[in-house]
Amino acid sequence: MQLYPAIDMKNGQCVRLRQGKFKEITVYSDSPEKVAAYWESQGATFLHLVDLDGALAGYSVNEDAIRRIVAAFSKPIEIGGGIRTEEAIERMLNLGVSRVIIGTKAVQNPLFLRDAVTHFGADRIVAGVDAKNGLVAIEGWEKVSEITAADLCGQMKEYGVRHVVYTDISRDGMLTGPNVEATKALTEATGMDIIASGGMSSMDDLRRLHEAGVKGAIIGKALYENRINLREAVEAFE
């Protein structure tokens, strides 16, 4: 199981939100590149970046920070947040990021995702599926659609998408444990690389995902609050 330490960026800082609410914010560091270098020193083999300003604005506003993180972290990096055009994908890949996560745009215009996979290749594109009570949420989680996560993933698979970051919003930043059942069901129904996100709180959570056959897990707040030791987790589950 691939582990992804998360760095959420807002105003060039490394932060965490509770349930995606921009009012409930904790700043962990003014230097996200130092955080990235630290996770690499602890054994990280892949980094998950989120541009929170970009998710709301619809375009990247933390490019300087992203550039510094790429310089500080030698392993692959994926990024999401406000990436809604082919030019934006290209710009991120040109900055040295390995994979780009498409969220809102994938729901609003699934053909955009299909074209992106065709143009850039399936290993460069990740679909971001954020769900609340099984329904997909968009635009920085401010709106909930009428599409179920399972239907959306099925549609994406037809378009050649292989990687999906699946976030259960109700659990994000709450340290209440991931939605193992929903993530396992999506993995089994689609056969895709479903990466669990939201609620990771302990080694036991990671163990449950690992035993359920889930392919990846993003760890955020639990790392910053010392509930999960990254080095131990990498040794146990990767």
The DSSP-derived string for 135-163 is EEEETTTTEEEEEEHHHHHHHHHHTT--E
- What distance in Å separates the CA atoms of residue 50 and residue 79, rounded to the nearest whole number? 6
* Residues labelled catalytic: 8, 130
CB 7 within 8 A of CB 1: no
Q: Is 25 exposed, middle or buried (0-12, 13-18, 19+ CB in 10 A)?
A: middle
The CA distances from residue 142 to 33, 102, 187, in Å, are 28, 16, 26
Residue 203 near residue 228 (C-beta atoms within 8 A): yes
Tokens of 96: 């040295």
